């Protein structure tokens, strides 16, 4: 898999982030992971959060190059009659009916159409309270907390800095060393999930700085190198450069 100029600097299989999918893609469709990337992008397209960019000067609306030839990435549709008796056509959500190439090279450009709005993107009250209840339960196991985090902060969900810091502050129990050690794991995982989902994306560094050293190291492992890799088309961030190294000076 090769993703040219992707906004998250994808350099390996662990680097693809469906929350930041904008970029140019070259997928070897014989590769299982490449097919899973395409399916992830199709899911984003299906819910109206992204689109495959049309080829320039192609009146037929094709949006990809497949083995050197113009090609259209699309999904099947289904037609139904609603309660008012009107006929409606929608994208077929049944992934077993989707056709994904299993060979050749597929090249295309994908753009996220998600617009972040602080009010709309804040974690909804139900999900927020579910996390609060789970984090407040001192007997809850790390696996259970992870499950609640995954369910509450889904792929297309964002969280405000205030919500994240309030929840993070609940994950402490210094009076119980064993439980505090478990909370370290949860703190690391929670911040890694919030990393790409903060409404105030410029405050990610502040959130990371709230972690203790052990949790921060674990959080960075969860995130992986691609999250900290420099990309020219998405250069916003905080840098610590060793200027003795040519790559840092460049």
The three-state (H, E, C) secondary structure of 187-246, written as one string: HHHHHHHHCCCECCHHHHHHHHHCCCHHHHHHHHHHHCHHHHCCCHHHCCCCCCCCCCCH
Which one, of 50, 54, 1, lies nearest residue 25 by Cα?
1
Q: pLDDT tens digit string along 189-215? A: 999 999 888 888 888 889 999 999 999
Q: pTM for the full model?
A: 0.49
Beta strands in the chain (DSSP E): 2-4, 23-28, 50-52, 64-66, 69-71, 77-81, 87-91, 105-112
* Final residue in a domain of this structure, among 63, 97, 112: 112
Task: Give yes or no: residues 8 and 105 share one domain.
Answer: yes
pLDDT of residue 66: 95
Q: pLDDT tens digit string along 39-74? A: 989 988 887 778 999 998 888 989 999 999 999 999
Coil, strand or helix: which one is 35?
Answer: helix
Task: Give yes or no: residues 93 and 189 share one domain.
Answer: no
Domain that holds residue 157: 118-228
- The pLDDT mean for the chain works out to 81
Judge whether residue 160 has pLDDT over 60.
Answer: yes
Residue 42 CB contacts under 8 Å (≥ 6 apart), including other chains: 73, 75, 98, 100
* Final residue in a domain of this structure, among 112, 136, 170: 112
Judge whether residue 233 has pLDDT over 70.
Answer: no
Task: Give yes or no: residues 56 and 32 share one domain.
Answer: yes
**CA 223 to CA 107: how far, in whole Å?**
27
Task: Give yes or no: residues 67 and 99 share one domain.
Answer: yes
């Amino acid at each position: 898999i090769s993703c040219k100029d992707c906004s998250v600097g994808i350099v390996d299989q662990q680097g693809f982030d469906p929350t930041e999918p904008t970029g140019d893609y070259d997928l070897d469709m014989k590769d299982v992971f490449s097919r899973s990337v395409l399916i992830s992008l199709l899911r984003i397209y299906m819910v109206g959060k992204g689109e495959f960019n049309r080829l320039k000067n192609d009146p037929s609306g094709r949006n990809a190059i497949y083995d050197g030839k113009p090609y259209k990435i699309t999904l099947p549709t289904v037609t139904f009659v609603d309660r008012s008796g009107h006929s409606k056509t929608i994208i077929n959500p049944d992934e077993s009916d989707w056709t994904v190439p299993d060979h050749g090279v597929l090249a295309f450009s994908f753009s996220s159409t998600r617009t972040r709005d602080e009010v709309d993107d804040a974690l909804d009250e139900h999900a927020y309270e579910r996390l609060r209840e789970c984090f407040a339960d001192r007997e809850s196991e790390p696996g259970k907390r992870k499950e609640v985090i995954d369910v509450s902060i889904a792929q297309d969900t964002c969280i405000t800095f205030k919500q994240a810091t309030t929840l993070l502050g609940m994950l402490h129990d210094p009076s119980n060393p064993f439980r505090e050690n478990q909370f370290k794991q949860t703190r690391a995982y929670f911040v890694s999930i919030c990393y790409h989902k903060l409404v105030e994306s410029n405050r990610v560094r502040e959130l990371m700085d709230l972690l203790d050293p052990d949790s921060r190291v674990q959080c960075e492992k969860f995130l992986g190198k691609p999250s900290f890799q420099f990309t020219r088309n998405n250069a916003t961030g905080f840098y610590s450069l060793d200027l003795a190294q040519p790559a840092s000076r460049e």
